[in-house]
């Protein structure tokens, strides 16, 4: 069986999106890339609040993230939709943040049942991620530092890369070498 989905899990500002774009450049066939930001950007504005998410997603001033029941339902539907696109023939790279650790991974495992998935942990030193976050200026301060280790706890990977000192393209080449078919 050949790899159909690559899941990149890492904290905010760890370099997942850049690796996903580099994978599109180095893999021999076309791959689509979607990220957790794709889902958040697709939400109605009322579901993207600053602190209290009610039914949506909220971002606290300390970088914390909280989600409500409506967001959880849409998140499950989104994962299943990625699975449906893959079953329809698309190859997909998903840039994700497993805030729920192994529960988040299990949600994706369920949505991607029967598909060949490469699970990749994208690690980044919390200090490096925090510096990237500050340079970006589009994230709540503290998000990168708080997520750097949290998102990996209890998660099982086929491969891990570290973007602290390794360029995104080199990480993408390491991942591409593990892609079958």
C-beta neighbour count of 36 within 10 angstroms: 22
Beta strands in the chain (DSSP E): 5-9, 32-35, 48-49, 57-59, 65-67, 92-96, 117-123, 159-162
Q: 70: which strand partners?
A: none
Residue 91: is it exposed, middle or buried by C-beta count within 10 angstroms (0-12/13-18/19+)?
buried
Residue listed under structure tokens 């709540």: 140
Please pick, among 25, 37, 69, 149, the residue that the annotation labels catalytic. 37
Distance CA 161, CA 170 (A): 9
DSSP 48-87: EESS--TTSEEE-TTS-EEE-HHHHHHHHHHHHHHHHHHH
Cβ distance 16 to 31 under 8 Å? no
Is 75 considered catalytic here?
A: no
Residues with a known catalytic role: 37
């Amino acid at each position: 069986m050949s790899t159909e989905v690559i899941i990149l899990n890492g904290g905010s500002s760890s370099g997942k999106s850049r690796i996903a774009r580099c994978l599109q450049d180095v893999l021999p066939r076309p791959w689509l890339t979607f990220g957790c930001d794709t889902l958040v950007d697709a939400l109605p504005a009322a579901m993207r609040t600053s602190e209290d998410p009610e039914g949506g997603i909220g971002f606290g001033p300390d970088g914390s993230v909280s989600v409500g029941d409506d967001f959880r339902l849409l998140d499950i539907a989104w994962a299943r939709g990625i699975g449906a696109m893959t079953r329809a023939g698309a190859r997909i790279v998903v840039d994700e943040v497993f805030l729920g650790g192994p529960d988040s991974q299990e949600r994706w495992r369920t949505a991607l049942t029967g598909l060949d998935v490469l699970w990749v942990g994208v690690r980044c030193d919390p200090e490096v991620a925090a510096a990237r976050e500050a340079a970006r200026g589009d994230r709540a301060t503290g998000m990168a530092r708080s997520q750097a280790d949290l998102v990996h706890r209890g998660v099982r990977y086929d491969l891990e890369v570290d973007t602290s000192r390794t360029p995104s393209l080199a990480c993408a080449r390491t991942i591409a070498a593990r892609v079958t078919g």
